[in-house]
Amino acid sequence: MLITIPDVLTPEQVAHARRLFDAAEWVDGKGTTGYQAAKTKDNMQLPDSSPAAREVGDMILQALGKGPLFMAAALPLRILPPMFNRYSGGQSFGTHVDNAIRQVPGTPLRIRTDLSATLFFAAPDEYDGGELCVEDLYGIKKVKLPPGHMVLYPSTSLHHVTPVTRGTRLCSFFWLQSMIRDNGQRSLLFDLDVSIQRLGGQLAGNPVAEQTAVQLTGVYHNLLRQWAEM
């Protein structure tokens, strides 16, 4: 399941981040990937130690912590510090699956990558190509979002980034371990959560519906209790 999360960052935050990116030092992206993926990876990244990466990364994590849609969709347990990449002049990243386990930089902590996230910083009309193409059960989904918007997709998916033939594509990407490892179970919980929220807006003065909503909320939490890993 692919989920788009709009307006994670405000236009002001995006503009601030882009000023930091312009002044930052970018390095070859091959450094942070496995041997096989490195063969098809052609982009630039901010190093982990980059002050710009840290500042904008914190900004993203703080924004996500306040976002109910992200929390409901991801049910995050641990989130890796956001990373940043830049594609221009025909650069691309061929089809690959992200590494299953990643170490949190500077710590002994390892996380299982259940969900991958890409947050866009450049407007779609600023560059040609640069679509994130994610293969799921129903085919290939092409994603190219307005600045400040983010997509979440299962890290089990094969994906690639098409060549950027004009302009520059700027994105943040990161991974998270979810409390719910299984994509199907996580999708069910998300659907149930969204349905309960929708129902909640329609209940005024209807005691049977109110009782039903309480019961469904109980089902949600009891499923979460059964399935969650911490």
Shortest separation between residue 99's beta carbon and Ni ion, angstroms? 9
Shortest separation between residue 206's beta carbon and Ni ion, angstroms? 47
Q: Which is nearer to Ni ion, 29 or 57 (CB)?
A: 29
Sign of CA dihedral 143, 43, 80, 14: negative
Shortest separation between residue 192's beta carbon and Ni ion, angstroms? 29
Shortest separation between residue 93's beta carbon and Ni ion, angstroms? 7
Which residues contribute to the site for Ni ion (CB under 5 A)?
98
Report the alpha-carbon distance of residue 117 to residue 134 in Å, rounded.
Answer: 12
Shortest separation between residue 36's beta carbon and Ni ion, angstroms? 12
Chain-centroid distance of CA 23 in Å reads 25
Report the alpha-carbon distance of residue 85 to residue 163 in Å, rounded.
Answer: 14
Q: Which is nearer to Ni ion, 98 or 128 (CB)?
A: 98
Q: What number of helices (H) and strands (E) belong to the chain?
A: 6, 16
Shortest separation between residue 61's beta carbon and Ni ion, angstroms? 19
Q: 200 is written with which tokens? A: 């909640």
Report the alpha-carbon distance of residue 34 to residue 39 in Å, rounded.
Answer: 9
Q: Which is nearer to Ni ion, 7 or 98 (CB)?
A: 98
Beta strands in 16-167 (DSSP E): 27-28, 44-45, 76-79, 83-88, 93-96, 101-103, 110-112, 115-120, 128-129, 132-136, 139-143, 150-154, 159-161, 164-166
Q: Which is nearer to Ni ion, 96 or 186 (CB)?
A: 96
Count other C-beta atoms under 10 Å from residue 142's C-beta.
9
Q: Which is nearer to Ni ion, 98 or 135 (CB)?
A: 98
Q: Which is nearer to Ni ion, 75 or 132 (CB)?
A: 132
